[in-house]
């Protein structure tokens, strides 16, 4: 299949593997420690595990799985607010499917639906708007979440609702931004990252420029990366080439999709409808300044947080859950004390085990379970 098969070619993968091993050996000989490279996006994590890319890499390269899954970083208090909205008798609450099972402090949206709340899965905000047209006597709320990737579609839906004067449609806005999150990781005392694979879908909207601070101020190389196996391997080789050469820059491996300046129409819609929040809470990471957006006053009629009274409490994860350490790359998923036992895809304790893009779910679904058990035993993690 054109534009797929050529990015899964085994001969090209083998060639890239050899280039990576060659450069990694030279870098390790000079530095004497493994390189830690972070793929920020959950889509990259999924590709890495699905195609066994980590097994192709030398021991001198460690991949760190970052917080680039918007479902995974959704705090429990915001899930509780979702459930509270969904339980209102006049509300039809709509959401993407992967958010249905994220645990709150008492219930998930799926459990609320089973208990009688009108929660419906949709594939886009336009589906939610169609429900609002169909049910004018009900308030239809769309659970808006995601990075800059999904912001344009949400913003354009609000503009369409305003143009059609649809008064029974609103958003529970949980959109988050990429750059402040990367900055928070770089400012962390535990930060040991040597380079970044940047999210291709976000870059498709925002372009290359927002990532230049990583190189200019933190002197870390960054490569904007696609989502096929050869995309990942080529981007890792590009990172190693920068590290070996002693320079850092923003390189665009995903140029077949990502334009340098981003998508003007998408950015214009975002800026028209949304503005930055002063701060926003991330599950496992705490509050990060200017890392979320809210609806501008001009479109307040479409803001569920303004229409309804929400508690909006900050609720900590269970003490046994170590999602925060995993999100920051401090530990691997298998090092979490509850991984695969008390926390599994059927009964998740943490959001990283819920989403198909979560690092814990990727380890669980695509990892060698016997090998993971041996690793846990060798490292003194109880099983």
Band (328; pLDDT cuts 50, 70, 90): low
Tokens 């930055």, residue located = 276
Question: Can you give the residue ranges of every domain in the chain?
Answer: 1-322, 323-378
Band (351; pLDDT cuts 50, 70, 90): low
Percentage with pLDDT > 70 across the chain: 91
Band (119; pLDDT cuts 50, 70, 90): very high
Instruction: Name the residue among 112, 163, 118, 113 with its Cα closest to residue 139.
Output: 118
Show Cβ contacts of residue 188 under 8 Å, excluding neighbours closer than 6 positions. 328
261, 252 Cβ separation under 8 angstroms: no
Show Cβ contacts of residue 265 under 8 Å, excluding neighbours closer than 6 positions. 152
pLDDT in tens, 262-291: 999 999 999 999 999 998 988 777 888 999
pLDDT in tens, 59-98: 999 998 887 778 878 888 899 999 999 999 999 999 998 8
Angle at 336 between CA 335 and CA 340, to 5 degrees: 100
How far CA 212 is from CA of 223, 248, 314, in Å, comes to 11, 10, 33
Q: What's residue 342's pLDDT?
A: 81
302, 161 Cβ separation under 8 angstroms: yes
The C-alpha atoms of residue 11 and residue 28 are separated, in whole angstroms, by 26
pLDDT in tens, 237-254: 999 999 999 999 999 999
193, 37 Cβ separation under 8 angstroms: yes
Topology (CATH level 3) of domain 1-322: Rossmann fold (3.40.50)
Who has greater pLDDT, 298 or 359?
A: 298
What is the pTM for the complete model shown? 0.86
Q: What's residue 17's pLDDT?
A: 96
Does the pLDDT of residue 374 top 60, yes or no? no
Return the top range by mean pLDDT from 32-36, 331-335, 371-375. Answer: 32-36
pLDDT in tens, 148-189: 999 999 999 999 999 999 999 999 999 999 999 899 888 887
Q: What's residue 74's pLDDT?
A: 84
Q: H/E/C letters for each residue in the chain?
A: CCCCHHHCCHHHHHHHHHHHHHHHHHHHHHHCCCEEEEEEEHHHHHHHHHCCHHHHCCCCEEEEEEEECCCCCCCHHHHHHHHHHHCCCCEEEEECHHHCCCCCCCCCHHHHHHCCCCEEECCCHHHHHHHHHHCCCCEEEEEEEECCCCHHHHHHHHHHHHHCCCCCEEEEEEEECCHHHHHHHHCCCCCCCCEEEEEHHHHHHHCCHHHHHHHHCCCCCEEEECCCHHHHHHHHHHHHHHHHHCCCCEEECCCCCCCCCCCHHHHHHHHHHEEECCEEEECCCEEEECCEEEECHHHHHHEHHHHCCCCCCCCCCCCCCCHHHHHCCCCCHHHCCCECCCEECCECCCHHHCCCCCHHHHHHHHCCHHHHHHHHHHCCCCC
Does the pLDDT of residue 320 top 90, yes or no? no
The distance of Cα 135 from the centroid of its chain, to the nearest Å, equals 32
Q: What's residue 376's pLDDT?
A: 55
Q: What's residue 70's pLDDT?
A: 81
Does the pLDDT of residue 136 top 60, yes or no? yes
């Amino acid at each position: 299949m054109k534009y797929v098969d050529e990015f899964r070619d085994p001969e090209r993968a083998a060639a890239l593997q050899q280039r990576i091993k060659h450069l990694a050996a030279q870098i390790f000989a000079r530095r004497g420690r493994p390189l830690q490279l972070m793929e920020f996006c959950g889509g990259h994590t999924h590709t890495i595990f699905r195609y066994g890319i980590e097994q192709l890499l030398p021991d001198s390269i460690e991949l760190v799985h970052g917080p680039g899954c918007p479902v995974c970083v959704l705090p429990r208090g915001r899930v509780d607010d979702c459930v509270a909205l969904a339980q209102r008798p006049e509300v039809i609450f709509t959401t993407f499917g992967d958010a249905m099972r994220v645990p709150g402090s008492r219930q998930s949206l799926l459990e609320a639906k089973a208990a009688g709340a009108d929660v419906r899965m949709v594939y886009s905000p336009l589906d939610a708007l169609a429900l609002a047209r169909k049910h004018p006597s009900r308030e239809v709320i769309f659970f808006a979440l995601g990075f800059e990737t999904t912001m344009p579609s949400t913003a354009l839906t609000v503009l369409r609702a305003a143009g059609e004067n649809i008064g029974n449609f609103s958003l529970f806005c949980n959109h988050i931004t990429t750059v402040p999150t990367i900055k928070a990781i770089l400012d962390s005392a535990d930060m040991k990252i040597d380079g970044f694979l940047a999210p291709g879908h976000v870059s498709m909207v925002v372009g290359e420029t927002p990532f230049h601070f990583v190189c200019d101020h933190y002197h870390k190389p960054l490569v904007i990366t696609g989502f096929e196996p050869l995309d990942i391997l080529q981007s890792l080789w590009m990172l190693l080439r920068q590290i070996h050469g002693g320079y850092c820059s923003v390189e665009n491996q995903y140029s077949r999709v990502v334009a340098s300046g981003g998508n003007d129409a998408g950015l214009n819609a975002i800026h028209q409808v949304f503005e930055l929040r002063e701060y926003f809470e991330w599950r496992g990471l705490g509050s990060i300044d200017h890392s979320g957006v809210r609806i501008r006053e001009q479109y307040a009629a479409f803001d569920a947080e303004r229409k309804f009274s929400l508690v909006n409490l900050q609720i900590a994860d269970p003490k046994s859950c170590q999602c925060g350490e995993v999100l920051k790359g401090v530990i691997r998923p298998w090092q979490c004390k509850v991984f695969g036992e008390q926390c599994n895809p059927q009964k998740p304790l943490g959001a990283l085990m819920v989403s198909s893009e979560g690092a814990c779910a990727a380890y669980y679904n695509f990892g060698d379970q016997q090998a993971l058990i041996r690793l846990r035993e060798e490292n003194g993690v109880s099983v």
